[in-house]
Amino acid sequence: MDYRIIPITASHTGQMEEIENLCFPDPWSRNLLEELLVLPNAVSLAAVSEDGLVLGYTSAQTVLDEGYINNVAVRPGYRRQGVASALLEALRQRGTELGLSFWTLEVRESNKAAQALYAKHGYLEVGCRRNYYEHPKEDAILMTLEFETICS
């Protein structure tokens, strides 16, 4: 399957909203997805097929040298084909370029497949947020990928 990892533009938000609705019980609205694109500290990337289909996307934000991943989502028919791994690798590269100390994210405690994917990419379990998710009520596992940084 051929696709490219590219920065998300406003033309992708309709497909992002569709993926949100397919993947999450509390999907982000199109307005919120559009707002993420204009934040000066946003990192938003999409895996896009040759015919323009958004296969998956990730959105994140940075604060100083810290990175917070909002979402990693892949269209259900394209899972387990390397799309999420490609997005995570692109985030790793972007984090290095930005000089980040880490990327961190929350994942549902029951989502063992996602936890395994993140672990495969070097993310370590660092904590728990009790009752973080609402529908259904569930804890979040905090996972972090640390970058080697040197303060001088």
Give me the CATH number covering residue 31: 3.40.630.30
Catalytic residue flag (residue 106): yes
Catalytic residue flag (residue 118): yes
Name the active-site residue from 106, 133, 134, 148: 106
Mean pLDDT over 6-25 rounds to 95
For 61, the domain range is 3-146
Mean pLDDT over 55-84 rounds to 96
Name the active-site residue from 3, 118, 123, 133: 118
For residue 151, is it within any domain? no
CA atoms within 13 A on the CB side of 130: 0
For residue 50, is it within any domain? yes
Count of domains forming the chain = 1
Give pTM, 2 decimals.
0.93
Query: 42, 21 in Cβ contact below 8 A?
Result: no
Distances (CA, A) of 80 to 14, 56, 73, 134: 23, 12, 12, 27
pLDDT tens digits along 74-109:
999 999 999 999 999 999 999 999 999 999 999 999
Phi, psi of 25 (to 5 degrees): -70, -25
- The CA distance from 105 to 60, in Å, is 9
For residue 105, is it within any domain? yes
